[in-house]
Chain A
Amino acid sequence: MRYVTLLGVLEMTHAVTALGGHASVIGVSSFAELMKKLENAPFDRIVLDPSLLTAADANTIVAYSKKHLVSMVAYTSFSPTALEACVILARNTSAQFVHRGSINERFTLKRALFLAPDAQLGQALLARLSKQMDLLPCEIRNTIAAMLQTGAGPSTPTDLAAQSGVARRSLDRWLTLAGFTSARLLIGAPTIVAGYQAITSSTIPLARVAGMLGCATQRCIDARFHALLGVTSSQLRHFPFEIPVAASMMAQRLAGVDNGIAAEGEADARYEHVDPISSWFDDVAGNRPTGSSGRASAGISIYQDQ
């Protein structure tokens, strides 16, 4: 993974320590330099301190991230100088904010750097689910859209219902009416969006990725990935899918959407040959995907055995 950073010296040290050699980092010292770097080469993540941005800078970076679908991490303390840029970034992007000085700062920073949501995957998935999403009431739709864009959200269907301001039964009814197969599967989707790039484009050990995703063991995230992508995390690392393929697979499992249906303007036909993706791995692990939705809940909660 390639990161470009616009940070102070101390923040830069923290970021580099957090990445620990699992990614390439290019640091810049001014906004102009940042934009120059971004124009010259694509980056997977932009990590910046909003206190180093003016309002105009923040608007420019918002426009860039919208055009190029790049994930952003805002690593900052809420000083008056940072506030304006923070608000612009929060209003217009799915930037993850890491607060300086919080007790879990280092852990949150590491998680944000590695698990910044794959903006392209989130967007592609939303595009494929747009028909189903349109049938949902506004509150549920917004909550689910935020989950898929930010790669974070409620951890149980009951929490999803509460966060959307509806009863659990109503949630299930609405989801069924809209064509979603299960609320439980939907809850697992942000994990995939959050962990996708860390698994496919970095060398960070999978057990560590599992820890950052809140799982005690690799087997736990394997269950989640298998439920929605039909492959385990190590299979995905060895044979990463193109984003549209992954989004189609997930849409298929989440709402029975056929690979070619929901994408808007994307050449899904390019991936028609990969239809039986799961069969690629039959010889790798003998682990033929079943599409069973129940597997998402097979994960073992980390700390219960301690």
Chain B
Amino acid sequence: MLPEADIAFATRHASEESAMEKAGAQVLALYDTIKRSGPPDDALRATLMQTASALREKVEDNAIRAALLTVADVMPFWTTDIRFGRSATYAALLQYGEALADNAEWELAKKVYVLIANDAELDYDLDAAAQGYALAGMAFRMCADWDNSAASYARAIKLGVKNGDSFIVFRARGGLASNKRDRGDIPGAERELLSVIRSAEQLCPEAVIHANATLATVAQTAHQYERAITLSRRTLALAKNDHRLRTKALVDIANVLTDFGLPEVAREALQLVVATAPGRYVRVIALLNLFTLAVNAADPVRFDTLREQLRNTRLTPKQQTQFAILDAQGLRRLGYFDRARESLAVALQLAESHNFFQFSFEVEAETKQLHGAVESSLIGTPRCTPTPANEQARPMSSEIRRAVDDIHSLTASMSESPSVSR
């Protein structure tokens, strides 16, 4: 049901995306001109108005368009009202970057963030600069550019301290922990996040929620399912008014429930996220998790449909690697050993070229499983492998039971509202 609809959606929006990219480039070029040459003259004002009206007429109404229009609206104040004009332009450009990131356009988002961070720092707008660097750190991580990610986070921390912005400092430290998690240093990530939570509880409670959410993903990576559920439920409780974070927490819980052996509850939550989440990034994560469910269930129909859909979706390097590993697992379970081997080779290449050490371990484990499956097939066991060990339902603790109840009530409440707001 969902996959076909989403493929159509992707095709229909491909041309609109390119129109949006063009509009973005145009607005950024205008920003660059105003920044370099001072007050906009009449010709430049006319171009700005043309760009804004073209955006209104030709581009679909979404977060990216709204952010670009705001940039176009506030840019004329760049030189006339320095205090307001500049900070407003930086804020609008940061919004544009975030809209791009939500849409999984990480390459462009990272360029926008770096541009803002550098310009704002030169302008002594430490707030915008620190935000820009912190967000750039995340965008670089998504592109698996570890050195630049670490450098951006370090700069964000430095400027955050200078500006007395403990939230940015803790957020950037959480980002560094995420880098460690993605590179397989689970104990290091956990140490850093626990330290952040300890310090933030006193100094900046607003930062605890993000560190808590990241710690849940670390626990899940370490196969500590109960702990991951407890942490994700805590995130849900803390993020009462933050729908964006709630959606992410919902995906995290669904992810853990998948690993825990409650695929039906997980599927219910994930399908809702795919249908309602406003940002493509979260939708793609949910799709990958649905793919995991199809792989675990060795369901050939769902596997093929979701596989096709994900192959047509723009994925980050991390998601590409995850996809390749899952693809190999699915193909092995369905008995297509040669194709599984090819996918594993792709996964290994991606993991090594981007230094995803955790995934390298997973590729190694999957390779062993594949060898085992090939040997078994030679001695005549069935082609379709049964449900894996971690998919077998385990006894439900009260924590897991509460998480399942949460999912049911959340999906019920979210189905009532057509989309999740930012």
> Using a CB–CB distance below 8 Å, which chain A residues touch chain B?
10, 13-14, 17, 77-80, 83, 86-87, 90-91, 97, 99, 101-104, 106-108, 110, 154-156, 159, 162-163, 207-208, 210-216, 301-303, 306
Contacts and interface: CB of A to CB of B under 8 A. Distances in A.
A21 to B, nearest CB: 14
A110 B206 CA distance: 10
A86 B165 CA distance: 24
Contacts of B207: 107
Which of B73, B81, B84 has most A Cβ within 10 Å?
Answer: B84
A133 B206 CA distance: 39
Contact of B92 (A13, A78, A207): A78
Contact of A302 (B91, B135, B166, B241): B166
Interface of B: 69-70, 73-74, 77, 81, 83-84, 87-88, 91-92, 94-95, 98, 124, 127, 131, 134-135, 157, 161-169, 171, 173, 195, 199, 202-204, 206-207, 241, 422
A86 B86 CA distance: 13
Contacts of A207: 202-203
Contacts of A101: 95, 98, 422
Contact of B165 (A97, A107, A306): A107
B195 A303 contact: no
Given A90-B83, A211-B203, A302-B203, A83 B161 contact: no
B177 to A, nearest CB: 12
Contacts of B163: 155, 214
A102 B127 CA distance: 10
B202 A102 contact: no
B70 A79 contact: yes
Given A86-B84, A211-B166, A303-B173, 18 more contacts: A17-B241, A80-B73, A90-B83, A97-B84, A101-B422, A102-B91, A103-B168, A104-B171, A107-B165, A107-B207, A155-B163, A162-B124, A211-B202, A212-B166, A214-B161, A301-B161, A303-B169, A306-B195
Question: When A and B form their complex, which 10 residue pairs have the shortest distance between CB atoms, in order from nearest?
Answer: A214-B164, A90-B84, A211-B203, A107-B167, A99-B91, A104-B167, A106-B206, A107-B206, A155-B162, A78-B70
Nearest to B91: A99
A212 B163 CA distance: 10
A4 to B, nearest CB: 22
A293 to B, nearest CB: 21
A104 B88 contact: no
Contacts of B70: 77-79
B165 A91 contact: no
A103 B206 contact: no
A9 to B, nearest CB: 11
B161 A302 contact: yes
Contacts of A102: 91, 94-95, 131
Contact of A214 (B83, B165, B195): B165
B154 to A, nearest CB: 11
9 contacts: A91-B81, A97-B88, A101-B95, A102-B91, A104-B165, A211-B166, A211-B203, A211-B204, A306-B173
B168 A104 contact: yes
A184 to B, nearest CB: 15
A214 B77 contact: no
A20 to B, nearest CB: 9
A115 B164 CA distance: 12
Given A101-B95, A110-B206, A214-B166, A86 B88 contact: yes
A210 B203 CA distance: 8
A86 B91 CA distance: 14
